Amino acid sequence: MKYLIVFLIGFFAVDIALAQSDSVQHISRLEIKKKKSVNISRGDSSITLIIDTLIMNDRSRLEFYGKKNVILKVKHAIIPKRAYISGTDGKNNASNFDITIHLDELGSLFVLAGGRDANNGSRTFPNGNGGKVTFNYLGDGIIPQQEDKNQEHYLVIDTKAGGYSVNARSDLYNIYSRIGGGSRPLGQLPQGQVYSGSAGIDGKVEVKEINEF
C-alpha cells in the first residue's frame, strides 16, 4: 500500500505539470517505463519544457503533438538502452527542437523530427517538412556519437521531409479505381483533396557541446 500511494502521488504530480496551459512547463522527475510513452499535447504551439531528471527506459518515447517549436532542457538524463524523442505540429510537419541535455547515461537516443507522408483518404495535409534540430549536450556528461549504431552513446537525429516514400503510380491507381466505384467515388478523400507526390522540405541538424545550461 505504501508503494501504491507513492506511485499515485508521483503520477499525479507529473499529470499536473503536463496539464499546465502555460508555454513553460517544469517537471522535477519523469520516468517513462519500457515501451511506454508520454505525450505532451496541451498548451501553446510553442513550448519550453524543463525536466530536472528524465529516465527513459528501453523503447520509451517522449512525444510532442501540435507543437511547432519545442525547447527541451534536461538537467539529468538517464537512458540506459534505447529511447525516442519526437514531435509534430499536427499537420504532417515535424516540430523544431532546441534540446539542451546533460547525459548521465546513454545507450542510444533517437530524435525523430522528420516530416510525415500525406495519405490520400486519411490525412488532410500535404507531405510534411522536416524540423530544425539543435542538440546541445553538456561536455561534463556523456559525449554522444553518431557513427556506430552498435556502440554505446549512439545518437540519431532524423529531419528528413515527408513524401520520399510516396509512390505516385499507386496513388494514381487508387484515385482511378475510386472514379469508377460509385456515385461519390472520391467522397472518401479528405475534403476532396488529392495530393501530389511532391516531398516536403528537409530539416537541418546541429549538434554541439556546451559547458553550461
Tens of pLDDT along 49-69?
999 999 999 999 999 999 999
190 occurs within a structural domain: no
35 occurs within a structural domain: yes
State the residue range of the domain holding 9.
2-118+125-164+198-210
Tens of pLDDT along 94-143?
999 999 999 999 999 999 999 998 876 555 688 899 999 999 999 999 99
Among candidate residues 156, 135, 9, the one with its CA nearest the CA of residue 74:
135
Contacts of 207 (CB under 8 A, 6+ apart): 135, 137, 144, 146, 155, 157
202 occurs within a structural domain: yes
* pLDDT given for residue 168 in this prediction: 54
- Counted domains in the chain: 1
pLDDT score of 80 more than 50? yes
Among candidate residues 209, 79, 207, the one with its CA nearest the CA of residue 135:
207
110 occurs within a structural domain: yes
Strands (E), the chain: 24-32, 37-40, 46-56, 60-65, 69-88, 96-112, 132-138, 154-158, 204-210
Among candidate residues 112, 106, 35, the one with its CA nearest the CA of residue 70:
112
175 occurs within a structural domain: no
182 occurs within a structural domain: no
User: Confidence class of residue 171 from pLDDT cuts 50, 70 and 90?
Assistant: low
Distance CA 28, CA 31 (A): 10
173 occurs within a structural domain: no
174 occurs within a structural domain: no
User: Confidence class of residue 11 from pLDDT cuts 50, 70 and 90?
Assistant: very low
